[in-house]
A and B are shown apart, each in its own frame.
Chain A
Amino acid sequence: MDVVHYLNLGIKAIFVENILLAFFLGNCSYIACSKKIDTAIGLGVAVTFVLTICTPICWAVKNFLLAKGALQWVSANLNGVDLSFLIFISFIAVIAAMTQIVEMLVEKFSPALYNALGIFLPLIAVNCAILGAALFMDQRNYNFMESVVFGFGSGIGWALAIIAMAAIRKKLAYSNIPAPLRGLGITMFISGLMSIGFMCFAGIRL
């Protein structure tokens, strides 16, 4: 029963409520980095990785530090303290710190990937998909396991969308598009069509 619940949540995060095509999160890097398939795959992997780590950490920060009564474990006097207005700033700090660590790790252990990702790794810190997933986790009150699954699923969904887009844009190089529509314009139209495609997944449950 439990496994099915998590599977459902994962599938929902990947397909039905795809973080990019249904909630428009992470659109900027999606458009800027979907010109080449290699970069798209690299960035997709990096985002999935950071999302899977950050969402649970943000969950811990929220539930042990910020939520109402969360500081109870420090002392019973702090029972009524509600720091939830600090959620934005602490989440973004967690995310910025995590991206920094991931960047250093990738640089140390896989210089090739580091060179390929280049400027994109630090940019993940300001990728709205990461903060967005963390805020959704907060809003929907996921538990720890759910937040891991949700973070991972959202990452996979995002990666899927950007890789598909890069593949389509590669083919697009051979088509004759009106000049003002090139680049951003046509990318938006294709995303719209992809979004319609992903809407077909609505209602899938195991």
Chain B
Amino acid sequence: MAEALFSSKNQKILKDGMWDTNPITFQILGICSALAVTTQLKAAIIMSLGLTFVTAGSNVVISIIRNYIPPQIRIIVQLTVVSALVISIDQALRAYMFDVSKQLSVFVGLIITNCIVMGRLEAFAMGNPPWKSFLDGLANGVGYSAILIAIGAIREILGSGKLWGIPVIPELLYTQGYVNNGMMVLAPGAFFLLGIMVWIQRSISGYKENS
């Protein structure tokens, strides 16, 4: 090993994925699930764990076999590796957390077509050694999770007055006439919140889109 495990280069890989080139706000990848599973914090966290596992895992596997994959069929090979990981997650969820699995419904399966996974495989794992690819997958997974969890928490508090299923808005407020914002549970609330998140993240990181 010529290079230390957490050399400055590797630290940069971590930081890029988590903040500077955040998969959701910068690379515009994986938005579908960011919107769909975030009505509750719990679902959002489980989805984040699943996606981080798949991204990091598939990055490592593809990176190990990258020199043996014929370029013409690489997409199919990538999809196969990703599907295998996703199937194992889905089966595990069904066995141990059936209610969450019901709630996430088709979106666990949709990790396969989540653009973050494929995007990182194409952009990073195909050209880098396993350890770096693992860091990259992990960082992108964490960057995605941060946004997902933030949106999940906000939507659950505003939409149903709960956090992790526990009521957090005091009863007093309801008797004073406070009502939950029903829009937050529905589709438009997710779009608006993600728009606001992107706005905030880009204001801080200073990234501008030239259109």
Give the B-binding residues of A (Cβ under 8 A). 21-28, 31-32, 35, 85-89, 92-93, 96, 122, 125-128, 130-132, 135-136, 139, 173, 178-189, 191-193, 195-196, 199
Q: Quick check: is B29 within 8 A (CB to CB) of the other chain?
A: yes
Contact of B188 among A88, A126, A192 (CB under 8 A): A192
Complex alpha-carbon distance, A135 and B113, angstroms: 12
A131–B112 touching, CB < 8 Å = yes
Contact of A27 among B25, B32, B192 (CB under 8 A): B32
Complex alpha-carbon distance, A196 and B187, angstroms: 8
B208–A128 touching, CB < 8 Å = no
Q: Quick check: is B80 within 8 A (CB to CB) of the other chain?
A: yes
B199–A181 touching, CB < 8 Å = yes
B12-20, B40-48, B103-111, B171-179: which lies at the A interface?
B103-111
Complex alpha-carbon distance, A31 and B29, angstroms: 10
Instruction: Tell me which residues across on chain A come within 8 A of B126, comparing CB atoms.
Output: none
Complex alpha-carbon distance, A35 and B211, angstroms: 9
How far apart are B9's CB and chain A's nearest CB, in angstroms?
29
Q: A88-B90, A180-B208 are in contact. Are A127 and B113 (CB under 8 A)?
A: yes
The residue in chain A whose Cβ has the minimal distance to the Cβ of B194 is A188
Q: Quick check: is B128 within 8 A (CB to CB) of the other chain?
A: no
Number of residues in B with C-beta < 8 Å to the partner?
45
Instruction: Tell me which residues across on chain B come within 8 A of A184, comparing CB atoms.
Output: 25, 28, 195, 198, 209
Instruction: Tell me which residues across on chain A come within 8 A of B188, comparing CB atoms.
Output: 192-193, 195-196, 199
User: What's the dominant secondary structure at chain B's contact region?
Assistant: helix
Complex alpha-carbon distance, A22 and B39, angstroms: 13
Instruction: Tell me which residues across on chain A come within 8 A of B207, comparing CB atoms.
Output: 180
B112–A92 touching, CB < 8 Å = yes
A24–B28 touching, CB < 8 Å = no
Instruction: Tell me which residues across on chain A come within 8 A of B208, comparing CB atoms.
Output: 179-180, 182
B106–A136 touching, CB < 8 Å = yes
Contact of B113 among A126, A181, A188 (CB under 8 A): A126
Q: Quick check: is B5 within 8 A (CB to CB) of the other chain?
A: no
Instruction: Tell me which residues across on chain A come within 8 A of B189, comparing CB atoms.
Output: 192
How far apart are B72's CB and chain A's nearest CB, in angstroms?
11
Instruction: Tell me which residues across on chain A come within 8 A of B202, comparing CB atoms.
Output: 180-181, 185
Instruction: Tell me which residues across on chain B come within 8 A of A189, comparing CB atoms.
Output: 191-192, 195
B81-89, B130-138, B161-169: which lies at the A interface?
B81-89
Instruction: Tell me which residues across on chain B come within 8 A of A183, comparing CB atoms.
Output: 209, 211
